[in-house]
Amino acid sequence: MTPPKPEPRADKVSLWGYLRMFRRDILSAQPQRLYRAWMAEFRTTFFRSYLCNDPALVRRVLEERPADFPKSGRVTEGLLPLLGRSVFVTNGEEWLHQRRIIDPAFEGGRLREAFPAIWAAAEAAVARMGTGEVEVELAASHAAADVIFRTLFSIPIEDKVAQAVFHEFRAYQRSAPILNLAAFLPLPRWFPRLHRKATLRSAKVIRGLITGLTADRAAAIAAGTAPQDLATKIMTTPDPVTGAPFGTGEMVDQVAIFFLAGHETSASALGWALYLLATHPEVHERVAAEAAGIRPEFATMGSLRFTRDVFREALRLYPPVPMMVRETTVVEDFRGRAVKPGAQVVISPWHLHRHERLWDRPDEFDPDRWAGEGKEAARDGYLPFSRGARVCPGAGFAMLEGTLLLAHLVRAFRFEAVPGKVPVPVAHLTVRAKDGIWLRVTRRTDG
């Protein structure tokens, strides 16, 4: 069974028709030809945009000259009420300062240190999972949020504040559009951004709750009673260049993006991975067989190679962040075309991961490809966590989390597709299913 994919739009539509489609869902707003094209240009009165699938252009933008292609402020406008000046929205020296503090928290042995918390969250996810017809995307969101709180603040999702953040974040997801008005119009800084009232309210509540957690942790650090988790590591790490650590306000911004990136992306990928297994029973049972022997020790990850490839393939077909937008700062030559400063450069994992010139059978679910041609294709067409200087610092963390959660759930349950309920991918904050992912869940008696 070929996994679901949005119906592409007609090749030619009016500008306003395109903008309406884009605001509803950026995936179905794109034409079919982008799955073969190396580049496409989009012109409006206010800006020009270039979607780049050419591997050489992708390398130039993300790896070779990232400083010349800063993150576009147009796209991050809609997230500012929640994320403030987090590492997700900043550029230049401000961004470098933030990465110098954040990166050490995810290096080397930190994965081993985080393993017990992720294992505990996986066991809790199994205990929470219902049977019958279950909306597994919600269950995946719950599990991913639990991982974030256990690894960041050493508290489970059942904690009162963690519960409040989780439920408020779901409200934020429902109210936040994929793009703000400023994504299309070059508005001056003083011009009101016209964020929805519900979005502003949810962002304010979330940031207030995070501020309380961060202030409590700062007090525990001062008293010498803080647990050695990610929050403590980040808050006690000074910038090696300036000597300055994060203040409480800066830490609130970073925790907001950790929750958005760590929770949203992991939940999206896990939900789709469960659906793919439900529609491919033979792969499902291979994962179950591999997961049967897992143990609560870090070395067990070495026995989950196929499960990891399943999660990797889910990230290929349904990359949580479908598009990344940079901006030109100097005149560029894109495939013989002169591109002026200020142009928007779109790198689309959604199209690269399904590109017909890069992948064999690009729309098929085949985790075995990662033992063969997938590794070669991935060099040019696989970037679920971005690439280069701005690669997600938690990429290894996310792969560990996704693989371990998947192994626990499949070891304990069988997942089957529900007739008539095929999920339709749409892009909001991440690639999610329009009406959720409904699966029939039964508990294994042989696990």
Secondary structure letter of residue 384 according to DSSP: B
Indicate the pLDDT class of residue 8, thresholds 50, 70 and 90.
Answer: confident
Is pLDDT above 90 for 126?
A: yes
Would you say residue 224 lies in a domain?
Answer: yes
Would you say residue 3 lies in a domain?
Answer: no
pLDDT digits (tens, 9 = 90+) for 279-338: 999 999 999 999 999 999 999 999 999 999 999 999 999 999 999 999 999 999 999 999
Is pLDDT above 90 for 218?
A: yes
Print burial letters for 147-169: b (CB count within 10 Å at least 16), e (below 16): bbbbbbbbbebebeebeebbebb
Secondary structure letter of residue 259 according to DSSP: I
Pick from 290, 330, 250, 230: nearest CA to 83: 250
pLDDT digits (tens, 9 = 90+) for 11-59: 776 666 666 666 677 788 788 999 999 999 988 777 789 999 999 999 9
* SS3 category, 46: coil
Query: What is d(CA 212, CA 216) in angstroms, rounded to the nearest whole number?
Result: 6
Would you say residue 7 lies in a domain?
Answer: no
pLDDT digits (tens, 9 = 90+) for 397-437: 999 999 999 999 999 999 999 999 999 998 877 888 999 99
pLDDT, residue 343, reads 94
Would you say residue 313 lies in a domain?
Answer: yes
- The CATH number of residue 92's host domain is 1.10.630.10
Secondary structure letter of residue 244 according to DSSP: -
pTM: 0.93
pLDDT digits (tens, 9 = 90+) for 307-319: 999 999 999 999 9
Least confident interval from 42-46, 144-148, 151-155, 212-216: 42-46
Would you say residue 111 lies in a domain?
Answer: yes
Residue 177's region, left for phi above 0, alpha for psi from -120 to 50, else beta, is beta
CB 182 within 8 A of CB 193: yes
pLDDT, residue 174, reads 66
Number of domains in the chain: 1
Query: What is the residue range of 157's domain?
Result: 15-443
pLDDT, residue 181, reads 46
pLDDT, residue 284, reads 98
Give just the sign of the alpha carbon dihedral 6, 284, 301, 305: negative
Would you say residue 110 lies in a domain?
Answer: yes
Indicate the pLDDT class of residue 176, thresholds 50, 70 and 90.
Answer: low
Query: What is d(CA 440, CA 420) in angstroms, rounded to the nearest whole number?
Result: 12
Pick from 69, 95, 78: nearest CA to 343: 69
Would you say residue 2 lies in a domain?
Answer: no
Would you say residue 142 lies in a domain?
Answer: yes
Indicate the pLDDT class of residue 190, thresholds 50, 70 and 90.
Answer: very low
Average pLDDT of the chain, as a whole number: 90
